Amino acid sequence: MTADAFSALLRQHRSIRCFQDRGIDPALVDRVLVQALQGSSSSGNLNLVSVIKTSDAARKQHLCTLHFDQPMVLQAPLVLTFCADSHRTRQWLAQRDARLGFADFISWHVAGYDAIILAQTTALALESHGLGICYMGTTLHAMQAIADFLDCPDHCLPVTSMVVGWPAESPPSRDRLPGAAWIHNERYQRPTPADIDAHFGEREERGRERYLALGPEMAARWAEHGIRSLAQFYTSKIKYDPDQFARDSAALEDLLRARGFGG
Ligand SMILES: Cc1cc2nc3c(=O)[nH]c(=O)nc-3n(C[C@H](O)[C@H](O)[C@H](O)COP(=O)(O)O)c2cc1C
């Protein structure tokens, strides 16, 4: 693939939440996953990852409830759950009379990075075939329930999921922060208030309009919660509620300890 073709693939990215009623060839999915792992760096080349495919309608129905009823789980023919997994590697170590390892907080991160790197390579590879994907951050908030539903053993936990299917929508491209906001030369450059205004200004107005365009119900909820800006929306009770994040973080710490990843 040329640099231009790769650039075009990146430009075409949009999260897809609405899918055609058309399955995906399972052989294509497996091929893409195998190639994606080959094309992903992997810490120590340990491949501390597992991917669990869900395509059975009844199982997707249940998975949907675990993902806070996000309707795209029902619509998409396939859900991929990417797991940080040292279970298999530890079994290999035990079978070879090696000292057991990878059951600590560092290994949780090492395995998690492997899984996330694989997820994004998979996303690009799926998109190169014309498929659409959308990540589901709900995986982090319902990790234990999803792990149990997928029968994950100790030292194996889901870190992210994505729905996959043939797109039935073509949403506009969503902008990102400009390079000047996050690319630093040599040392971190702390943003001034003027930098914040310059980097967030336009996109926060566009974001506010996009959310309010979702319908009068959203406008009513903004009014009910006294939300006047996109920033206030993001950390309000109806988006990324910091109190909920604190509760879910405490649960995650407990889960990591219970499932063998220390903490
Ligand atoms: C880790 C992660 C979790 C996400 N979780 C969700 C989600 O739960 N539901 C959803 O609709 N979109 C989710 N997204 C998609 C983002 O909302 C989307 O990538 C972002 O708004 C930018 O839009 P774009 O991907 O179309 O460019 C997630 C994206 C990432 C990377």
14 lines ligand 1 (CB under 6 A): yes
Whether 120 lines ligand 1, by a CB cut-off of 6 Å, is no
C-alpha of residue 208 to centroid of ligand 1, in Å: 17
Phi, psi of 160 (to 5 degrees): -155, 160
For range 138-154, the mean pLDDT: 98
Whether 95 and 123 share a structural domain: yes
Residue 3 is assigned to a structural domain of this protein: no
Q: How do residues 204-251 score in pLDDT, each as one tens digit?
A: 989 999 999 999 999 999 999 999 999 999 999 999 999 999 999 999
Residue ranges making up the domain that contains 224: 179-246
| In a domain? residue 259 | no
User: Is 256 part of any domain?
Assistant: no
**Residue 236 has what pLDDT?**
96
Same domain membership, residue 57 and residue 19: yes
Domain finish residue from 139, 171, 203: 171
What's the CA gap between 159 and 142, in Å, rounded?
Answer: 10
- Same domain? For 142 and 234 the reply is no
- Same domain, residue pair 140 and 200: no
Atom index in ligand 1 nearest the CA of residue 67 equals 8
Confidence (pLDDT) at 202: 85
pLDDT at position 16 over 90: yes
- What atom in ligand 1 is closest to the CA of residue 16? 26
Decide if 255 is inside a domain.
no
CB of 174 sitting under 6 A from ligand 1: yes
What is the rounded average pLDDT of the residues 7-26? 98
Q: What is the CATH number of the domain that holds 50?
A: 3.40.109.10
Residue of 12, 122, 136 with the most ligand 1 atoms within 8 Å of its CB, for mutation: 136
Residues 154 and 192 in one domain: no
How many separate domains does the chain show? 2
One domain for residues 148 and 77? yes
Residues 122, 231, single domain; the answer is: no
**Ligand 1 pocket: which of 70, 135, 211 to mutate (most atoms within 8 A of CB):** 135
Task: Tell me: pLDDT of 1 over 90.
Answer: no
pLDDT tens for each residue of 110-142? 999 999 999 999 999 999 999 999 999 999 999
Q: Tell whether 19 and 125 lie within a shared domain.
A: yes
Last residue of a domain, one of 143, 171, 199: 171
Cβ–ligand 1 contact at 136 (below 6 Å):
yes
Our answer on whether the CB atom of 15 is closer than 6 Å to any ligand 1 atom is yes
Tell whether 91 and 155 lie within a shared domain. Answer: yes
Q: Is the distance from the beta carbon of residue 17 to the nearest atom of ligand 1 less than 6 Å?
A: yes
Task: Say if 4 falls within a structural domain.
Answer: no
Same domain? 45 vs 131 = yes
Looking at the structure, tell me whether residues 27 and 126 fall in a common domain.
yes
pLDDT in tens, 175-201: 999 999 999 999 999 999 999 999 998
Q: What is the mean pLDDT of the chain?
A: 96
Task: State if residue 134 touches ligand 1 by the CB under 6 angstroms criterion.
Answer: yes
Rounded to the nearest angstrom, the distance between the alpha carbon of 135 and the centre of ligand 1 is 5
**Is residue 94 a part of any domain in this protein?**
yes
Q: Residue 1 falls within a domain, yes or no?
A: no
Q: Is the CB of 71 under 6 A from ligand 1?
A: no
Domain-located, residue 50: yes
Confidence of residue 263 (pLDDT cuts 50, 70, 90): low
Statement to judge: residues 72 and 102 lie in one domain: yes
- Percent over 90 (pLDDT), the chain: 95
